[in-house]
Amino acid sequence: MITMRIKDMFFDRHVVMAAVDNAKRKVLSKAGAFIRTAAKTSIRKRKGSAPPGAPPHSHEGSLRRLILFGYDKPNDSVVVGPVGFKKSEAPSALEHGGEVIVLRRRGGKLTSQKVKIAPRPYMAPALEKERPNLPLLWRNSIKKGD
C-alpha cells in the first residue's frame, strides 16, 4: 500500500519566507556595498574643483570617507550615500547642484557668502554603473537551509 501525505507536497511557508528574507538582506547589502565602492572610487583626490557634470574632487577626504550604506528592513531596501555632514547641504548640492552658504575667513573676520554650485553627480552615476550587475546578485541567492 502506498501512502502519501498531502502536506509533503507543499512548501513549508515559514521556511521559504525566512530563506527569502535572509537572501534579500544579503543581496541588498551586497548591492549597497558595490554602489558605495563605485561612488567612492569616482571621487578622486585632486586640487581645484571638478568640472560640472563630473564627480567632485576630494581635497581632504571626508566625502569619500562618509559614503556609507545600510539595509533598511522596514522598507526592504538599501540606502547608500553620504552621512555625518551636520547641517551641511554640500553633499546634496554636489549631487544635484544648488546654492549653499560658504563661510570664509578674510582679514581675521568670518564672512558668509552664497555660492551657486553646478551639479557634480557621484551617487547617481555609481548606481547606473552597478545597475547591470544587480540582477546577477540574485542568482542562486535562496538556498535550502539558509
The answer to whether the CB of 103 falls within 8 A of the CB of 89 is no
* Whole-number pLDDT of residue 17: 84
Q: How far apart are CA 89 and CA 84, in angstroms?
A: 11
CB count, 10 Å around CB of 32? 21
* Whole-number pLDDT of residue 51: 95
Q: How far apart are CA 46 and CA 64, in angstroms?
A: 13
User: How buried is residue 27: exposed, middle or buried, by Cβ count under 10 Å (0-12/13-18/19+)?
Assistant: buried
Supply the pTM of this predicted model. 0.81
Q: How far apart are CA 125 and CA 111, in angstroms?
A: 34
Q: How far apart are CA 67 and CA 123, in angstroms?
A: 9
Per-residue pLDDT of the chain (146 residues; tens, 9 = 90+): 666 666 555 667 788 888 888 999 999 999 999 999 999 999 999 999 999 999 999 988 889 999 999 999 899 899 999 997 777 788 899 999 998 888 888 888 999 889 999 999 999 999 999 999 999 999 988 876 55
The answer to whether the CB of 69 falls within 8 A of the CB of 78 is yes
